[in-house]
Amino acid sequence: MAIPTGHWENKQAMLKFHLVTWANRADYQRQLESYFRIRYQIYVEERGWRQIDRPIPVEMDAFDNEDAIYLLGLDENGAVGGGSRLVPSLKPHLLSEVFPMLSSEEIPRGEAIYEWTRIFVAPRFRALGASSPAAGAVLCGLLEACLHLRIEQMSVVCETFWLKRLRGLGWPVEQLGPEMEHADGDILALLIQVDREALDSTRKAYGLSKASLLA
């Protein structure tokens, strides 16, 4: 399936969202290099996830391959300010290869199911004591990207607090199995239903207008 790309703009958060795939990666060489370095700064240096440390300051795993789809939020200078990754569930992904024990039943797989990983917002876009508009923009951008790509469900391996947070935003979320103690924080697996209502309620929660438009 050819993956349609596109970009969105969210003026409040000053981020413009781009979908980067294997097909258009040449147009984003500079941003992709910086993206993987930012992932290292955030996940290894800031979060202290030692298991994904590497000899050079670039964070890349087995799922950063030709099937990965990146949502990159670029600021007005074209610098990466936030992002997320989607991996097709029909291919090897974190839940199937590393954490299958987090799903009590068969791992959800299908054409319209993707695994969501690596959400982040660069520290300069974060807010103190409250979730930042940039995080809201990334979450909205993610839902918009899924709707655009006809992705109906997202599986995710995440820290336990996300269940309450996503439900609080109006996302239909099902827990797939038991929680697990993990050196980097307790985790669980979720299956998220992608729908327009979740997008609307997330925009509302963050006070974002309907400006996340396909350019």
Binding to ligand COA by residue 215, rule CB under 6 A? no
Q: Which of 52, 119, 187, 211 binds ligand COA (CB under 6 A)?
A: 119
Size of the site for ligand COA (CB under 6 A): 15
DSSP tag of 128: S
- 183 binds ligand COA per the rule CB under 6 A: no
- Over the window 32 to 51, marking each residue x when it contacts ligand COA by CB under 6 A and - when it does not, the resulting string is ----------x----x----
Least distance in Å: CB of 119 to ligand COA?
Answer: 5
How far, in Å, are 127, 129, 132, 148, 166 from residue 123 at the CA level? Answer: 8, 13, 10, 28, 21
Q: In this complex, which beta carbon is closest to ligand COA, that of residue 130 or of residue 215?
A: 130
Sign of the CA dihedral with 147 first, then 149, 151, and 152 last: positive
As a whole number of angstroms, the distance between CA 133 and CA 204 comes to 11
Binding map of ligand COA across residues 123-152, x = CB under 6 A, - = no contact:
---xxxxxxx--x-----------------
Q: Segment contacting ligand COA (CB under 6 A): 10-18, 23-31, 101-109, 115-123? A: 115-123
> Which one-letter amino acid corresponds to residue 191?
L
Q: Should residue 121 be labelled a site residue for ligand COA when binding is judged by CB under 6 A? A: yes
Beta-carbon contacts of residue 136 (< 8 Å; ≥ 6 apart): 13, 202, 203, 205, 206, 207, 208
How many Cβ atoms from other residues are within 10 Å of residue 180's Cβ? 14
Binding site for ligand COA (CB under 6 A): 42, 47, 118-121, 126-132, 135, 165
